[in-house]
Each structure stands twice: as C-alpha cells, then as structure tokens.
C-alpha cells in the first residue's frame, strides 16, 4: 500500500513525481518502490494504483516484436475452412471485413476493421516505436502525443474477443459443416496469450523511465 499524503505536507512545485493520485476516487498517495510482484491498491476504493514493473524495456520490446510477427500471421492466413459436399470456403480477417461491407453491414465492417486491425496495429507500432527509443535512453520523436494516443486507443482493441467469437462460430458451423482449423486461428490464439501478458503493463512508466527533454 502506498502511503497516504497528509494535509500538512507542503506541495510547492507545479507538479510532482513523488505523488500518485488514485484515478478512481481521487485519493492522493506518496509513491514508494514496490517489491517484485507487488501491486499497490487504493485503501479507499480498492483500485490498482501501481504495480511492480517486472518486464524491462528490452523484454517489452522483444514481446512487441513477437506480437507484431504473430499479428501479421493472424491477418494473412485463413482463420478456418468450412467444407460442404466437397466444396470448401475459407476466410481471412480482411475477407470477413469485406464480406460484411458488401452484405450491407458497413457498420460492422468498420467496427471489425477498427477493433481487430487498425487499433491493434497502431497500438503495437506505437509501442514498438516508443520502446525502441526508450531502450536507448531517449524519448522518441512525437513522444507526448503518441503516449496520449496509446492511452486513448487502449480500450478499443478486441482481438481476444474475436478469438472467442471464432470458437463460437466453429462450434455453430460444426453442426452443419466440416470444419478445418487454419493457421490464422492458431496465430490468433498466440496473439491472445501475448495480449494477456501486455495487459498488466502500464506504458505510462515510460514517462518516468525516460529523461525529460531539455527545453
């Protein structure tokens, strides 16, 4: 648990790295180093305040590069194939998006393109770019706006929901068709695993880990 700040503490600076504010209830805490695996929780509301950073910048970068490779695979290979009386039908993610557009569900096509392709891709590319420079101890060009953009697109990536959706679709189709799993579904499975690891990483640590540029 981080220590709560007393009313009497003098806070003269315009901003402070030593303090932490709970985003869920506005309680102010004094930051303190955390032990391995430790998570600091807000005493008032129970929300997570801070957690030990188990992964170094190098490890994060390696994970991001892996995720990018897996993401490309997940997008170029068919997800699964259906067979009926010797006819076969397969689709990739983009095949699915284009079909929805042509079938009059443009809203769904746009939602799928955003949450399954553009936002995850942007997120990974931005993270890779920021981490690449952080590794060299610098802030990447465009650091501040990119960090803000990363924070904004965070909730709009849905690859893990898509994997569960594919599973449901396979089971539904299985009643009427022959179903063959294709490489795309395995790539998506691996991607979900990587996303789960990333879920615990707060990229905002880069604000503290990289030096402020001299004005």
Q: Which residues contact 158 (CB under 8 A, 6 or more apart)?
A: 115, 116
Does 168 engage in binding with other proteins (CB under 8 A)? yes
Q: Which of residues 5-34 bind Zn ion (CB under 5 A)?
A: 22, 24-25, 27
Binding to other proteins, residues 193-212 (CB under 8 A): 204, 207, 212
**Among 34, 65, 121, 166, interactor with other proteins by CB under 8 A:** 166
Q: How far apart are CA 83 and CA 201, in angstroms?
A: 41
Tell me the C-alpha distance between 66 and 56, whole Å: 15
CB of 152 to other proteins, least distance (A): 8
| Binding span for other proteins by CB under 8 A among 18-26, 64-72, 129-137, 188-196 | 18-26
Judged by CB under 8 A, does residue 215 bind other proteins?
no
Q: Are 42 and 49 in contact (CB under 8 A)?
A: yes
Site string for other proteins, 113-152 (x = CB under 8 A): --xx---------------------------xx-xx--x-
DSSP class of 115: I
CA distances, 129 to each of 30, 135, 142, 158, 189 (Å)? 31, 10, 10, 22, 25
Angle between helices 57-76 and 93-102 (to 10 degrees): 50
- Report the nearest approach of Zn ion to the CB of residue 29 (Å): 9
Task: Rule CB under 5 A: choose which of 2, 20, 42, 194 binds Zn ion.
Answer: 42
- Of 68-76, 119-127, 130-138, 154-162, the window that binds other proteins (rule: CB under 8 A) is 154-162
CA dist 150 and 134 (Å) reads: 15
> Which parts of this chain interact with Zn ion (CB under 5 A)?
22, 24-25, 27, 42, 44-45, 47
């Amino acid at each position: 648990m981080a220590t709560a700040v007393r009313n009497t503490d003098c806070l003269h600076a315009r901003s402070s790295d030593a303090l932490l504010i709970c985003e869920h209830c506005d309680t102010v805490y004094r930051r303190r180093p955390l032990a391995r695996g430790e998570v600091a929780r807000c005493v008032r509301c129970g929300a997570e305040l801070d957690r030990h950073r188990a992964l170094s910048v190098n490890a994060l970068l390696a994970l991001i590069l892996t995720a990018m490779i897996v993401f490309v695979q997940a997008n170029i290979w068919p997800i699964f194939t259906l067979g009926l009386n010797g006819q076969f039908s397969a689709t990739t993610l983009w095949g699915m998006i284009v079909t929805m557009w042509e079938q009059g569900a443009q809203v769904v096509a746009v939602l799928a393109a955003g949450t399954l392709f553009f936002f995850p891709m942007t997120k990974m590319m931005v993270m890779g770019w920021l981490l690449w420079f952080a590794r060299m101890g610098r802030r990447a060009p465009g650091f501040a706006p990119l960090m803000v953009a990363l924070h904004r697109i965070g909730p709009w990536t849905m690859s893990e929901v898509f994997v569960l959706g594919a599973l449901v679709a396979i089971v539904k189709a299985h009643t009427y068709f022959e179903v063959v799993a294709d490489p795309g579904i395995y790539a998506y499975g691996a991607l979900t695993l990587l996303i789960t690891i990333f879920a615990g990483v707060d990229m905002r640590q880069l604000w503290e880990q990289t030096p402020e540029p001299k004005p």
